A = this chain, B = another copy of it.
Amino acid sequence: MTAPLIDNLQYCNWSPEIFRQLRAGGVDAVHVTIAYHESFREMVLNLERWNLWFEAHGDLIFKGVSAADVTRAQETGRTAVFFGFQTPNPIEDDIGLVEIVHQLGVRFMQLTYNNQSLLATGCYEAEDTGLTRMGRQVVAEMNRVGLVIDMSHSAERSTLEAIEVSSRPIAITHANPHWWHPALRNKSDTVLKALTARGGMLGFSLYPHHLQGGSDCTLESFCAMVADAAGRYGAGSLGIGSDLCQDQPDSVVEWMRVGRWSKQMDYGEGSADAPGFPPMPHWFRDNRDWTNIRGGLERVGFSSAEVDGLMGGNWMRFYDEGFGPP
């Protein structure tokens, strides 16, 4: 079996057309966000919507829960869809829900989105107090059942503490190095060194606010950054988490940013002048453009085995080690 193509973060406005684009682009597995600020019950409604899609489009997609499902996707010419949360809201204040959501197939959970959560501090807060009392308990429970800790939106200290406290490697599913593009959401060299030293994975984001030059970022600049990161952290700890938010109306980015926590608009990485989703770079408009990235990585000097790892093999290994009991 050839190395799989895995995108470890998308949040599209899903449709049969996008499922067909996943197949056209040869995507074997995709980690999709199924909840931001949803309560447990609201998140279950999102699971139900996915069950309807799996039933209606079983020729294109199916629910993935283990690394073996990525192989099954390759063997059957379909895309395995893995679930994750971008906030811990769906587990509410109830640690027992960690195992319940794992039983429902969820495999990634961010300890915070941009704000303080019950578990840790988000990257937009003025002060970062690290993991909370509940946060430490939930990290241990996530370790026990095999729910991967994702710190993509978390603040520096919280992220370092999660890396240290977790008994298993964690992930930053979608962010880039701060040294390449100093956005608030991108990660410091300190964090990325600690993450990868403990076996954790970084998924490079293709979301324009995380890119040097934004929507005008060149493929060459992106791939040179990946090469630089590979030199610092090792190519085996790196993959892609594109953060593709295809076909989403601007109301969705408002939900992501504001949820129900504020009566005022918060523009997050956007602004009043540019409140919506920014246009994707021309070399990655949708799932049919993965060959561009592969080509760019080949041209920047990676070996064929390294490119295979970056395009999905590394996530595959991480799935294999991360998605069940230790």
Interface residues of A (CB under 8 A from B): 40-41, 44-45, 47-49, 51-52, 94, 96-97, 99-100, 103-105
Contacts and interface: CB of A to CB of B under 8 A. Distances in A.
22 contacts: A40-B41, A40-B44, A41-B41, A44-B97, A44-B100, A45-B96, A47-B100, A48-B94, A48-B96, A48-B97, A48-B99, A48-B100, A49-B96, A51-B96, A51-B99, A51-B100, A52-B96, A100-B104, A103-B103, A103-B104, A103-B105, A104-B104
Copies in the complex: 2
A100 B45 CA distance: 10
Given A41-B41, A51-B100, 20 more contacts: A40-B41, A40-B44, A44-B97, A44-B100, A45-B96, A47-B100, A48-B94, A48-B96, A48-B97, A48-B99, A48-B100, A49-B96, A51-B96, A51-B99, A52-B96, A100-B104, A103-B103, A103-B104, A103-B105, A104-B104
Contacts of A97: 44, 48
Contacts of A103: 103-105
Nearest to A47: B100
